[in-house]
């Protein structure tokens, strides 16, 4: 069997970039069951309601939905179970300090396969206020309008 290489994105949390100011990102391994890996390889997962939290000195991914594998048997996994994140101790200590600051949380941004191994990109984030969200949307719309105007001018 050939070794899988490359970077294949399974799920992305676009809502997180809208709802949070992303301060720092980390790549973490994720401890999965066999049927979860098979469901992910089929490209099925949702990170929208996910977050990461410490339990003792370990980091756990919660609220992420990986649907049951259709060809699984009675030992199929629970779709929204807690999953352990695998990071170096130094990184865990840094994240623990950052999340103790007021208003900071850990959110998953992407779930992907890197060289055949499941990885999750988590971010230290701070929640945006409603006016920040409106301002970001307005800037993006203005940028689109400028690009449209420049593109239209080049055709003449």
The string of pLDDT tens digits covering residues 1-43 is 556 677 788 888 888 887 888 888 999 999 888 788 888 888 8
Using 50, 70 and 90 to split pLDDT, how confident is the model at 153? low
Please check the confidence at residue 72 and state whether its pLDDT lies above 80. Answer: no
The string of pLDDT tens digits covering residues 73-101 is 667 666 678 889 999 999 999 989 888 88
- Tell me the CATH number at 123: 2.40.280.10
pLDDT computed for residue 77 by the predictor: 65
Residue 138 resides in a domain:
no
Residue 12 has a CB neighbour count (10 Å cut-off) of 17
Residue 133 resides in a domain:
no
pLDDT computed for residue 13 by the predictor: 85
Domain span at residue 67 reads 7-128
Please check the confidence at residue 63 and state whether its pLDDT lies above 80. Answer: yes
Please check the confidence at residue 67 and state whether its pLDDT lies above 90. Answer: no
Residue 46 resides in a domain:
yes
| Number of domains the chain contains | 1
Residue 28 resides in a domain:
yes
Residue 99 resides in a domain:
yes
Using 50, 70 and 90 to split pLDDT, how confident is the model at 154? low
What pTM was computed for the model? 0.74
The string of pLDDT tens digits covering residues 93-151 is 998 988 888 888 899 999 898 888 889 999 998 887 777 778 888 888 888 988 888 88
């Amino acid at each position: 069997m050939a070794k899988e290489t490359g970077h294949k994105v399974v799920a992305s949390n676009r809502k997180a970039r809208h709802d949070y100011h992303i301060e720092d990102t980390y790549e973490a391994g994720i401890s999965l069951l066999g049927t979860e890996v098979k469901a992910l390889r089929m490209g099925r997962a949702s990170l929208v309601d996910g977050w990461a939290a410490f339990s003792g000195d370990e980091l756990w991914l919660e609220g992420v939905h990986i649907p049951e594998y259709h060809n699984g048997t009675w030992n199929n996994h629970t779709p929204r179970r807690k999953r352990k994140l695998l990071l170096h101790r130094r990184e865990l200590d840094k994240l623990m300090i950052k999340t103790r600051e007021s208003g900071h949380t850990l959110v998953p941004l992407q779930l992907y396969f890197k060289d055949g191994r499941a990885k999750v990109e988590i971010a230290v984030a701070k929640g945006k206020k409603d006016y920040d969200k409106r301002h970001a949307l307005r800037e993006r719309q203005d940028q689109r309008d400028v690009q449209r105007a420049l593109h239209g001018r080049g055709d003449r």
